[in-house]
Amino acid sequence: MDNISLLAIDDERFNLLLLEEALKSEEISVTTCTSADKGIELIKANDYDVLLLDVIMPGIDGFELRKIIRESRPHLPIIYLTAIVDTIDNSLIEKISQDKLTYYMRKPFIRDDLVKMIRSTVAKRRTEEQTKELYTGIMEDLALAAEVQRLLIPDWVILNDDVIVSSIYEPSQKISGDMFDMIPLASGKYFFFIGDIAGHGVQAALYMSAIQSVLKMIIGMGNWEITTHEVLSRLNWVFCTELGQEKYMTCMVGIFDFANNELEFFNAGHPNLAVFNPATDTVELLNPGSKGGIPVGWDRYYEYKEEDVIKYKFSDDSIFFMTTDGTFEISNSNDQMLGFDKMIQLLDSLVHDQDSAIIPYRVREALPQMGYSVANDDMTIITVKKIVSDQAGSGRKYWLTHPMVQDVNKLCADCEKYVADYTGNAELSVKVELILGEFLNNIVMHGLENSQQSRPGILVQIKVSDKDVTIKILDKGKKWSFNTSPVPPSEDIWNKDEQFATSGRGMTIIRSIASEISRNRYKDLNETVFKIRRQQG
Amino acid sequence: MQLNSYDKNGITVIGIEGRLDSSCASMLKTKFKELSAKQNNFVLDLSKMDYIDSTGLGAIVSCLKVVSEASGDVKLACLKDKPRMIFEITRAYKIFDIFDDLGAAVESFIQ
């Protein structure tokens, strides 16, 4: 054991001399003092491993001294050396045991017993400190691993000319064994993958990171015609031979062809893919006959066959839903799980009124409201919807911006141009730009703390109708409430008292332009909607 | 954003070119602070200012505040269409004198 640093406080010099002699050959460096005041000074200035105290001292007893010491040294072990035999009501023992790190030994002491007690007390304390440091270090490493993992999976929203994908990704511990990805192939085609490693925590997350790399390698390899069953067969082989057979993975892989509105996918033991079908106005399961294969990792020689591939023709307004089983295995206080069927019901109730981008967050927000708050596994919910081209003709368009001022300003200018081109109304388009500029800059500067420079993205949607322009903003900023009441035209935003205010006008300007403002928060996603009435005539 | 300043008939003119927004409003305030050490009457030539937001407005207001305390003024000239709309929407004309012509803005001090 490393050298022990000890302070002994006793008003009797004789006792201190005994201690110095008793401990001098034991790799214990002993400091002594005869007064409590001097002792307190020494404790503040030095980092002792253990204290030896007398219980009875002139002016202050050992327990009062302990109280003072604990203010600056809450974890310093104290050994009382006392000649007192306990009182009838055991009050001495009681006082000693009020503090977890207090021990005692009778005077006159037996040297070997004292040395043993000093050593074991200090060893216990050092072990506890090391364990605490180790735990803190592990938690910091896990937090960092979670950050890194977050960077490996797509941002909460993906938007391009072909598709909008929204996702909520929630590890049950700091890091997750779920994974999903959307890899562009060519001309409107995208390879998607959603997977769930059995179990969760660090091991599952490491497997998932490896799978992601292997998958990208398989997709990127050479000029082969990528098919879902062939990708799975290759992935299965690598999983079984390179990653070991302790784990397995349920997953679904597929190829979206947004140019031709076709989907083909393969289910390897994963929860079913569901789709909102506009023709029937309901959410349907896409694999009622349960075609598919076994989870990846069960059998290295298993071949995923073309006959188990499912093909589906979808429409422009179809919305696809994917999830991992942690979502519907969430349970209530009676240990009843939500269940897949109820989850589909929930999706079906939301899909008619909501943008696809917000649905995963509305579902997640609803679960504890329904009583389901015991999450047993990682949860992932994804929606995928085609972006219809020629958005200008529909009067509805999405934009996605990084949360950086220069990108936000460009988005505002693009939105202004879109509205100006669509409506021919310059004043209306300037109002749109002003609202967006003020609000988005507020989010960037105040709403997103400690975020990566390029993530999370902020999604903006503009819808133009005959009556109004609706601006919807979805962001992952902090929870922030503000007055959403419009400022009536008669109200003076340059009132005399605040005429020279040089800041704080942004929200007032927004409220003076917008005829309606609403704000909601679903899980950690803010939805803010502004409407600007169009002047008639 | 770019700034330039010059003297016109004893009045300091500050030309603002580009966007006056949260990313560069402090530049105007810093420049104005230097110039206002020697002069109290200013005209902001906004003929090349493309856009202004609430932070930019706040910067111009702060300029006005600085010189007002010394009985000076800041007048605005030659607003382009978009900033003019922004001034109308925000009713900023209530505290600023706005002119269509730079010469008229300078003249107004002399008169």
What is this model's ipTM? 0.83
End-to-end CA distance of chain A: give it in Å, rounded: 89
Whether residues B89 and A441 touch (CB distance < 8 A) is answered with: no
CB contact under 8 A, A503 and B92: no
Tell me which residue range forms the domain holding B13: 2-110
C-alpha angle A8-A11-A15 in degrees, rounded to nearest 5: 60
Chain A positions touching B61 (Cβ under 8 A) are: 499-502
Whether A253 has a pLDDT exceeding 90, the answer reads yes
Q: Do A492 and B59 touch (CB under 8 A)?
A: no
The CATH number of the domain covering residues in A4-131: 3.40.50.2300
**A145 — pLDDT class (breaks 50, 70, 90):** confident
Q: CA-to-CA distance for A412 and A409, rounded, in angstroms?
A: 5
Mutation target among B20, B22, B32, B60 for the A interface, most CBs of A within 10 A: B22
Interchain contact, B19 vs A503, CB within 8 Å: no
Q: Which CATH architecture has domain A392-533?
A: 2-Layer Sandwich (3.30)
**How many domains does chain B divide into?**
1
Residues A507-511 have a mean pLDDT of: 84
- A477-506 residue pLDDT tens: 888 777 777 776 655 555 545 555 556 678
Choose the closest CB to B91 out of A438, A493, A506: A493
For chains A and B, CB pairs below 8 A equal 67
- Chain A residues touching residue B53 (CB < 8 angstroms): 434, 437-438, 441, 506
Q: Give contacts of B92 with chain A, Cβ < 8 Å.
A: 494
Q: Note whether A32 and A23 are within 8 A (CB).
A: no
Q: What is the pLDDT of residue A537?
A: 46
Q: CA-CA distance, A394 to A357, in Å (whole number)?
A: 18
Interchain contact, B59 vs A502, CB within 8 Å: yes
Helical pair A111-152 and A202-220, crossing angle rounded to 10 deg: 30
Cβ contact B19–A409 (<8 Å) = yes
Domain boundaries, chain A: 4-131, 153-389, 392-533
Rounded CA Rg of chain A: 33
| Subunit contact A509:B54, Cβ cutoff 8 A | yes
Query: Which residue of chain A is at minimal alpha-carbon distance from B90?
Result: A509
Sheet of strand A28-33, all strands in order from the earlier edge strand to the far edge: A28-33, A4-9, A50-54, A78-82, A102-106
> What is the per-residue pLDDT across A451-467, written as a single tens digit (0 to 9) for each?
555 678 999 999 999 99
CA pair distance A12, A34, nearest whole angstrom: 7
Whole-Å CA distances, A305 to A21, A129, A241, A268: 83, 56, 20, 11
Q: What's the pLDDT tens digit per position in A155-205? A: 999 999 999 999 999 988 778 889 999 999 988 899 999 999 887 778 888
Q: Is the pLDDT of residue A262 over 50?
A: yes
Q: What are phi and psi of A78, to 5 degrees?
A: -125, 130
Check CB contact of B58 with chain A, cutoff 8 Å: yes
Both tokens assigned to A356: 């696809």
* Nearest one of A493, A461, A492 to A475, comparing CA atoms: A461
Query: Over 50: is that where the pLDDT of A276 sits?
Result: yes
List, in sequence order, the alpha helices (H) in A259-390. 325-328, 340-350, 359-369
CATH, residue B46: 3.30.750.24
| CB of A51 closer than 8 Å to CB of A78 | yes
Measured between CA atoms, how close is A155 to chain B, in angstroms?
26
Interface check for B7 against chain A (CB to CB < 8 A): the answer is no
pLDDT bucket at A354, cuts 50 / 70 / 90: confident
Judge whether B33 is closer than 8 Å to chain A, CB to CB. Answer: no
Which phi and psi (to 5°) does residue A516 adopt? Answer: -145, 140
Partner residue facing B94 (CB), from A445, A494, A513 = A494
Q: Please name the CATH architecture into which domain A153-389 falls.
A: 4-Layer Sandwich (3.60)
| Contact between A409 and B65 using a beta-carbon 8 Å cutoff | no
pLDDT at position A86 over 70: no
Quote the pTM value: 0.79
Q: What mean pLDDT comes out for the span B66-83?
A: 91
Q: Is the Cβ–Cβ distance between A368 and A333 less than 8 Å? A: no
Does any CB of chain B come closer than 8 Å to the CB of residue A533?
A: no
Mean pLDDT of chain B: 90
- To the nearest whole angstrom, how far is the Cα of B59 from the nearest Cα of chain A? 6
How far apart (Å, rounded) are the C-alpha atoms in residues A519 and A521?
7
Between these two residues, A508 and B67, which has the higher pLDDT value? Answer: B67
